[in-house]
Amino acid sequence: MEEVMKDTFDQEVIQSDRPVVVDFWGPQCGPCLALMPAVEALAEKYGDRVKMVKLEAPKNRRLCLELKVLSLPTYLFYKDGKECHRLTGTVTIESIEESIKQMLGIRG
């Protein structure tokens, strides 16, 4: 999974020609670190249809405030350059995959 920063966010997320999932994480966030291997597996599974990137929240505080990301882990889902869904707080790998399927219009 590619790491994005404030200066690459627009190009990599907003201007992407594919739907994008942004994983907001922090090195002190236990749930973030616990989910990361499963999220990377989802990135491989859906890689041809969805772009998945990660953003280290402590290094991008201003961007997090602009996007109203106030707790970790948070996952933002973008389609056609606009946020279409958000998961925050108690996040499971199942809820992330379900959100990806919804974004792609996959049923079941």
Which residue in the list 21, 29, 57, 69 is annotated as catalytic? 29
Phi, psi of 55 (to 5 degrees): -135, 120
Secondary structure of residue 58 in the 3-state scheme: helix
Query: Which residue do the tokens 């999220």 mark?
Result: 39
Cα–Cα nearest to 73, from 19, 21, 20, 35: 35
Which residue in the list 4, 13, 21, 32 is annotated as catalytic? 32
Which residues are bridge partners to 76 per DSSP?
22, 86
- The whole-angstrom separation of Cα 55 and Cα 63 is 10
Q: Is 32 one of the annotated active-site residues of the chain? A: yes
Q: Is 84 one of the annotated active-site residues of the chain? A: no
Residues tagged active-site: 29, 32
